[in-house]
Chain A
Amino acid sequence: MSNAAMKPLHFKPLNGVRIVVWSAFAVILLLLPVLARSNFAVTLLCLTGIAAIACMSYNMLLGQAGMLSFGHAVYTGLGAFVAIHAMNKIGGGWPIPMWMIPLVAGFAGLGFGALLGFVTTRKAGTPFSMITLGVGELVFAAALMFPEFFGGEAGINSNRTAGSGWMHGLGLNFGGQIQVYYLIAIYLFLCTAAMYAFTQTPLGRIANAVRDNAERAEFVGYDTRWVRYLIVMASSFFAGIAGGLTAINFEAATADLVHGTRSGGYLLFTFLGGVGFFFGPIIGAVLLIFSLVVLSELTKAWQLYVGIVFLIMVVFAPGGISSLLMLNLRRIKYGEWRKMRWPYAGMVFFGLIALWGFAAIVEMAYQAQVAAGSGSVVTVARIPMDASVLASWLIAAAVLLFGGICFEIWRRKFNKVWGEGEERIAEAIKKAEAAIV
């Protein structure tokens, strides 16, 4: 053992790396709207910020405690409804400022988490997932049953510029989208910090233990059900904050906020972003808003593409995009990335060709089936394809086949190069360890 290894460890929550990372995060949040310039971009940023809080709160369940929930939108949605009612109360003269609404929603989320989590956390693992799905359906059906609180089909509207207080006097009345953005940014920063800090607490660590081996955690003396219950409550607190911000952002809440589709979306994109790393869900949130707003404009079949990408990710990269990112960073660190350039280029090139063939088939099928009224010609990446001509189907299929085969060839090459690199890295690590001893 060397002296370095013998040095006593001190807990220093504010070390150099962290100060740099978190300052950079704050600066980026501060500057993003300046770079965005257009109103539409600011709206997108608002949505992404809210989604980031929701996805990170979802990852407290999935990534931290291994609980796969199909009903997370229950907490964001109910938080939004409580927030919208509180906003209307402010309009009626309640003396709390508008910026506290997300906190109100957060505590509402916490309350619903305590209530519903009591039932859902009675089981772990797969049964937990099934129960959250059932509870999600229960809440959605109940939302349609009580129009007094949920506003029925039309939902409930509100006004975020209501209220008073010293901030109102300074012009902070959330009239413009930019003010809403900065409110969301502040909450995003604080929530991210709080959720990160939570992962470092004893409870956060025990959640990891329960995720990895519930039986052992139980033998050590922890009540695993109690741990799950606490995690669900903490997670629904942050989910509620996301819901409250949604209410402020849209000044409205409808029953589809608690619908299972939304829960499924959180699950899907949190996973795509990656559950293994703390920042993974933020990537997921960016993808979520990108798909919902941009991709859905490009193609009507966007959910099919998202579903297939999701399937591929689960099978080949269960760590999500963040894990792919970290694996490649590791390559760069050990100077192995250069060898990967050509395999990567080959895979991307032929992958895109295969994707074009696939997209052409899907888009033509869609045009022929759903949008037949608007003619049979559909443009796929600027190339017009006529769905009523057999030749265009054959061309698309041939392109897909060609691209797919070439992609597979390059993927095998890639696997070989990747495996060799992995061996060299393992060797380098062994050498470095030997040098210390």
Chain B
Amino acid sequence: MEFFTISLLNGVSYGLLLFMLSAGLTLIFSMMGVLNFAHASFYMLGAYFAYQVSEWTNFWVAFVIAPVLVALLGGAFERTVLRKTHKFGHVAELLVTFGLSFVILELVQLVWGRTPVEYKVPAALDGSLFKLFNSTFPTYRAFMMVVAIGMLASLFLVLKKTRIGLVIQAALTHPDTTEALGHNVPRVFAFVFAGGCGLAALAGVIGGNAFITEPGMAQAVGAIIFVVVVVGGMGSLGGALIASLLIGVMQTFAVGLDWSFIGGLQSLGVDVTPETFGYPVWKLKLSQVAPILPYLLLVVMLVVRPKGIMGTRDE
């Protein structure tokens, strides 16, 4: 019970962080058809900017400034580079963001070095929120969940209840008509791209000190958020939310469990020894398999339901 509750809370907070990342990616993809390969790099930039700003001032200033800075950078990239490659098609757009992720990684190493930086949780949020049996739940985890849910709610409100959101939704499905009605669709695209990068950066600000701020952090989540987007269904925000929570909870539980096939088979009365066929597979513990679970989920999903959880069209 204790393990279950704590793991569930940790899993949900990790899942929400994944959703903050994949929300921006999904928005950009569904709107512009651009898969932003550098999305996780903007997440990393958010963490590093927050570290730098909080060194100079404090965490709360960084919390506001870092996402804005990254959003501006993202918007500038869209205006100057990405828009130029639009005429060459989606492959070129994907390639240009792939190149960008390369450059950002190198620049980050150039400016902040190759070792992790000391980006710490602010003192006000350090410590434990409550104690359940013998385990404590860190305050910062709760803070992460609050920020993620707040972001989710405001994203929903902006998209569904404001005029800007209406224009964005219209530009999503009918760009030509929206343009004919007098809206500057390229500007809306730049705005959405910047917004998506800002969201990724916000995830970096709160994720960077919860986990670790180092040059490898972009690659660590990069592939997983792609899995989230495919499993959730390309371009579906709701699907991305379900997939993020699923993967977050699944991975958190798996890390804590030492189950293996051997244990399961032995409880069924089958004896497994090192001589048994396929022993290397049977002896693996669930905690060892945890890193590949999201990718296994991807494979299973593609075989069973290629359009994803909430996907609408099957390409």
* Mutual binders A and B: yes
Q: Given contacts A135-B299, A141-B295, A145-B284, list 18 more A-B pairs with CB under 8 A.
A: A119-B299, A122-B306, A126-B35, A134-B230, A134-B294, A135-B298, A136-B223, A137-B295, A138-B295, A138-B299, A146-B280, A268-B99, A303-B102, A307-B102, A310-B95, A311-B81, A311-B96, A365-B111
Give B81-136 interface residues, CB cut-off 8 Å to A: 81, 84-85, 88, 90-92, 94-96, 98-100, 102-103, 105-107, 109-114
Most chain A Cβ neighbours within 10 Å, of B88, B99, B288: B99
A311 touches B92 (CB 8 A): no
Asked, given contacts A134-B298, A314-B95, A362-B110, whether A123 binds B315 with beta carbons under 8 Å apart, the answer is yes
Q: Are A127 and B230 in contact (CB under 8 A)?
A: yes
Q: Could you pull out 14 A-B pairs where Cβ atoms are within 8 angstroms?
A: A123-B315, A124-B315, A130-B35, A130-B227, A134-B223, A137-B292, A145-B284, A146-B280, A301-B106, A306-B102, A307-B103, A311-B103, A314-B95, A315-B85
A66 in contact (CB, < 8 A): yes
Known contacts A304-B103, A307-B106; A122/B302 CB under 8 A: yes
Report the Cα distance A366→B112, complex, angstroms: 10
Q: Tell me the count of chain A residues lying within 8 A, CB to CB, of chain B.
A: 46
**A370 contacts across to B, CB distance below 8 A:** 109-110, 113-114
A299-342 vs B: 1/0 string, CB under 8 Å?
A: 00101101110110011001000000000000000000000000
Residues of B within 8 A of A297 (CB): none
Q: Which residues of the partner chain B approach A149 to less than 8 Å between Cβ atoms? A: 280
Residues of B within 8 A of A66 (CB): 91
Bound-state Cα–Cα, A304 to B109, Å: 10
Interface size on B, residues (CB 8 A): 50
Q: Would you list which residues of chain B between 236 and 255 have a CB under 8 Å from chain A?
A: none
- A119 near B111 with CB under 8 A, answer no
The CA of A104 and the CA of B111, in the complex, are separated in Å by 46
Q: CA of A315 to CA of B77 in the docked complex: distance in angstroms?
A: 12
Per-residue interface assignment for chain A, residues 273 to 307, with 1 indicating a CB less than 8 Å from any chain B CB and 0 otherwise: 00000000000000000000000000001011011
Q: Quick check: B35 and A308 within 8 Å, CB to CB?
A: no
Q: Which residues of A contact B (CB under 8 A)?
A: 62, 66, 68, 119, 122-127, 129-131, 133-138, 141-142, 145-146, 148-149, 260, 264, 267-268, 271, 301, 303-304, 306-308, 310-311, 314-315, 318, 362, 365-366, 369-370
B289 at the interface (CB under 8 A from A): yes
Q: How far is the CB of A127 from chain B (nearest CB, A)?
A: 6
Residues on A with C-beta less than 8 A from B226 are: 130, 133-134
B203 beta carbon closer than 8 Å to chain A: no
Determine the distance from Cα of A370 to Cα of B111 in the docked complex, in whole angstroms: 9
CB distance from A229 to the nearest CB of B (A): 13
Q: Which residues of B contact A62 (CB under 8 A)?
A: 91
Once the chains bind, are A267 and B98 in contact (CB under 8 Å)? Answer: yes
Distance to closest chain B CB from A167 (angstroms): 36
